[in-house]
């Protein structure tokens, strides 16, 4: 958690917990998220688990402050998301299903650009360090379009972490990764947890999430069905909680 951006020095928006409190989000008449509550604390990995349309991505967008809740509140420490969204975004990193990278730019150019966007005065240095962490220093000046999915994912993760966020949000981070890349990503996420970050990830990949999560929030049709701490046997728990009696 280093190299903080400095775009709002008058407002300290650091936090050690994120509380989602009775949050709902409607799109017209459709209720994407309905009265969901959970808590993510520093040094934990929280999984949002549920079938398609359960509201996982909407919840991540709400946590990223890119969407406003129709009702309820999301608190980052003592600060509510609507009070200082820009200052909070300085502390939030997002890795979406799409990787948020410019394919025409090189890995270095992408990282320098995003470091600058977060107000890092030493964007070149931050990009160099990020490339080393991703193990891509030798491919730093190749365009991202020439990278494999796993390599792009590594660059994208470093992009999301380039400003040392307190909260990392990941949407389906294991999609398209081979076993080695997925294992490397899991290792990186564990490292972030150990450094005190709050990691919230939405995934369908229960096998990979097994043993990684400190807390699993099970969602169905936009509602929180159950929250389980240190879940074990994730697939069977998922089946019994999310599908209940409707599945054999």
Partner 1 sequence: MMRVAWLIVRKDLTVEVRSREIAYTTLFFAVSCVLVFAFALVRDGRAPEDGAAGILWIAVMLAGNLTLGRTFERERQSETLRALLLGPAPRAAVYVGKLLGILALLIGAEVALVPLVALLFQARLLAHPLWLSAILVSGTVGFAAVGTLFAAMLVRARSRDVLLPVLLYPMTVPVIIAGVRGTAALMQPDLEVGVVQFWLALLLCFDAVFVTLALWTFEAVMTD
Binding site for partner 1 (CB under 8 A): 5, 7-8, 64, 66-68, 85-87, 89-90, 92, 94, 96, 98-105, 109, 113-114, 116-119, 143, 159
Q: How far is the CB of 173 from partner 1 (least distance, A)?
A: 15
Q: How far is the CB of 52 from partner 1 (least distance, A)?
A: 18
Considering the complex, state which of residue 20 and residue 162 has its C-beta at the smaller distance from partner 1. 162
Considering the complex, state which of residue 15 and residue 118 has its C-beta at the smaller distance from partner 1. 118
Reduced to 3 states (helix: H, G, I; strand: E, B; else coil), residue 128 is helix
Q: Do 200 and 18 touch, CB atoms closer than 8 A?
A: yes
Q: How far is the CB of 231 from partner 1 (least distance, A)?
A: 29
Considering the complex, state which of residue 8 and residue 227 has its C-beta at the smaller distance from partner 1. 8
Q: How far is the CB of 94 from partner 1 (least distance, A)?
A: 5
Query: Residue 39 is encoded by which pair of tokens?
Result: 């808590």
Considering the complex, state which of residue 160 and residue 192 has its C-beta at the smaller distance from partner 1. 160
Considering the complex, state which of residue 7 and residue 237 has its C-beta at the smaller distance from partner 1. 7
Q: How far is the CB of 60 from partner 1 (least distance, A)?
A: 11
Q: Do 177 and 99 touch, CB atoms closer than 8 A?
A: no
Query: What does DSSP say about strands 71-76 and 17-27: parallel, antiparallel, or unpaired?
Result: antiparallel
Residue in 18, 5, 13 with CA at minimum distance from that of residue 198: 18
Residue/partner pairs of 108-115 with CB below 8 Å, 24 or more apart:
108/140, 108/141, 110/144, 110/155, 110/159, 111/155, 111/158, 111/159, 111/162, 114/159, 114/162, 114/163, 115/3, 115/162, 115/163
């Amino acid at each position: 958690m280093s190299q903080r951006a400095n775009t709002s020095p008058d407002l300290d928006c650091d936090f050690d917990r994120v509380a989602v409190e009775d949050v709902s989000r409607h799109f017209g008449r459709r209720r994407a998220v309905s009265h969901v509550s959970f808590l993510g604390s520093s040094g934990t990995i929280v999984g949002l688990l549920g079938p398609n349309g359960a509201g996982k991505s909407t919840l991540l967008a709400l946590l990223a402050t890119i969407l406003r809740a129709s009702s309820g509140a999301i608190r980052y420490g003592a600060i509510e998301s609507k009070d200082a969204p820009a200052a909070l975004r300085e502390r939030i990193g997002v890795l979406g299903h799409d990787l948020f990278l410019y394919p025409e730019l090189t890995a270095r150019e992408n990282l320098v650009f995003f470091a600058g966007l977060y107000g890092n005065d030493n964007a070149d240095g931050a990009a160099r360090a990020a490339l080393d962490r991703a193990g891509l220093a030798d491919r730093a000046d190749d365009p991202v379009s020439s990278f494999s999915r796993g390599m792009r994912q590594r660059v994208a993760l470093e992009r999301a972490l380039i400003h040392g966020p307190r909260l990392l949000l990941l949407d389906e981070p294991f999609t398209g990764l081979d076993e080695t890349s997925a294992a490397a990503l899991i290792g990186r996420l564990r490292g972030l947890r150990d450094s005190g970050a709050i990691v919230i990830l939405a995934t369908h990949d229960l096998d990979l999430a097994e043993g990684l999560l400190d807390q699993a929030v099970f969602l169905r049709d936009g509602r929180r069905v159950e929250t389980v701490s240190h879940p074990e046997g994730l697939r069977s728990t998922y089946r019994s909680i999310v599908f209940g009696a409707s599945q054999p």
